[in-house]
């Protein structure tokens, strides 16, 4: 495996950063996870824009132009002969001291890894996931903006550990208000009916979510298919009584959820709206 490391390709075994890098010491950096379909990175420019916004928000100056970074991503896929795969792009603040002072850091590091990834087994896409609610609460957006896709994922990891201990692959995370935020690594949608109206429902940005690129793709597809969408606060009760539920993320793509906290969602099987959106999403990735 060839890893892109600040301008050069090195073998996996030699892909190293300094122990004084603030990315290693403090999780001080930003990243993107992207999917490649048929040799083309899906929504590459959108990922670049989010990366640049994240870096700007925490005052890291990325040492490449956006076009140079895109070319480096493509070159990494080519160097590893990967057409259907996953790309992890990391930008650290660079080498500093043992102190917290960011202004003492120099030479931000750019690391690009291309590999194959199967986040969930195929049968989960066919039969649906079971998830549980984590006791770990999503970080308050007033503390650190969830729109910063930073390397510090301890909040998500602690929730993921709870899921592992409960025997499930993913967990639901609530915000400090007790509302649904997102899962440990994915955004969440439900298909529900209120009175005579059925619609797609997903938590808004104000709930403390990372506004995922796959999430936005689903919203765009829903608009194209004239599927009504509501972005508003959501509770676990809303999910319990929903007809369908699914998660979205670059690695997960679009995966159905059929049970939350031991309660069947809808029929307990992936629903027709979920299948319709998944089919259209898959078509979109092949363009």
Give me the tens of pLDDT residue by residue for the chain, a chain 287 residues long. 999 999 999 999 999 999 999 999 999 999 999 999 999 999 999 999 999 999 999 999 999 999 999 999 999 999 999 999 999 999 999 999 999 999 999 999 999 999 998 778 889 999 999 999 999 999 999 999 999 999 999 999 999 999 999 999 999 999 999 999 999 999 999 999 987 899 999 999 999 999 999 999 999 999 999 999 999 999 999 999 999 999 999 989 999 999 999 999 999 999 999 999 999 999 999 88
Q: Is the dihedral of CA 59, 12, 1, 164 positive or negative?
A: negative
Q: Catalytic positions, please?
A: 149
Pair (265, 149) in one structural domain:
yes
Predicted TM-score of the model (pTM):
0.93
Pair (128, 94) in one structural domain:
no
Q: Which CATH number covers residue 159?
A: 3.20.10.10
Angle at 20 between CA 19 and CA 23, to 5 degrees: 85
Q: What are the tokens at 269?
A: 């099987």
Pair (255, 162) in one structural domain:
yes
Domain that holds residue 270: 122-285
Cα gap 272→264, rounded to integer Å: 16
Q: What are the tokens at 21?
A: 């890098």
Pair (194, 82) in one structural domain:
no
- Residue at which a domain ends, from 60, 83, 115: 115
Q: How many structural domains is the chain composed of?
A: 2
Cα gap 183→159, rounded to integer Å: 9
Pair (149, 54) in one structural domain:
no
Q: Which residues contact 178 (CB under 8 A, 6 or more apart)?
A: 235
Q: Which CATH number covers residue 72?
A: 3.30.470.10
Cα gap 30→12, rounded to integer Å: 21
Cα gap 200→191, rounded to integer Å: 5
């Amino acid at each position: 495996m060839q890893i892109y490391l600040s301008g050069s390709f090195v073998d996996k075994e030699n892909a190293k950063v300094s122990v004084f890098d603030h990315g290693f010491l403090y999780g001080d950096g930003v990243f993107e996870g992207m999917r490649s379909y048929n040799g083309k990175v899906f929504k590459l420019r959108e990922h670049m824009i989010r990366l640049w916004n994240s870096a700007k928000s925490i005052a890291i100056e990325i040492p490449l132009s956006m076009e140079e970074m895109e070319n480096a991503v493509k070159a990494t896929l080519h160097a590893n002969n990967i057409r259907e795969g996953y790309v992890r792009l990391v930008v650290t603040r660079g080498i500093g001291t043992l102190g917290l002072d960011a202004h003492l850091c120099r030479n931000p590091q750019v690391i690009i890894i291309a590999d194959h990834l199967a986040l969930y087994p195929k049968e989960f896409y066919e039969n649906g996931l079971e998830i549980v609610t984590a006791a770990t609460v999503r970080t308050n957006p007033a503390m650190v903006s969830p729109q910063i896709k930073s390397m510090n994922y301890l909040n998500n990891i602690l929730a993921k550990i709870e899921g592992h201990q409960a025997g499930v692959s993913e967990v639901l995370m609530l915000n400090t208000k007790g509302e649904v935020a997102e899962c440990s690594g994915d955004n969440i949608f439900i298909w529900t009916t209120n009175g005579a109206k059925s619609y797609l429902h997903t938590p808004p940005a104000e709930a403390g979510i990372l506004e995922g690129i796959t999430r936005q793709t689903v919203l765009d597809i829903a608009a194209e298919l004239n599927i009504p969408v509501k972005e508003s606060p959501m509770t676990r009760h809303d999910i319990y009584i929903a007809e369908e539920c699914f998660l979205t993320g670059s690695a997960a793509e679009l995966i159905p959820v059929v049970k939350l906290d031991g309660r069947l969602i809808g029929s307990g099987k992936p629903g027709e709206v979920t299948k319709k959106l998944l089919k259209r999403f898959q078509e979109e990735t092949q363009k």
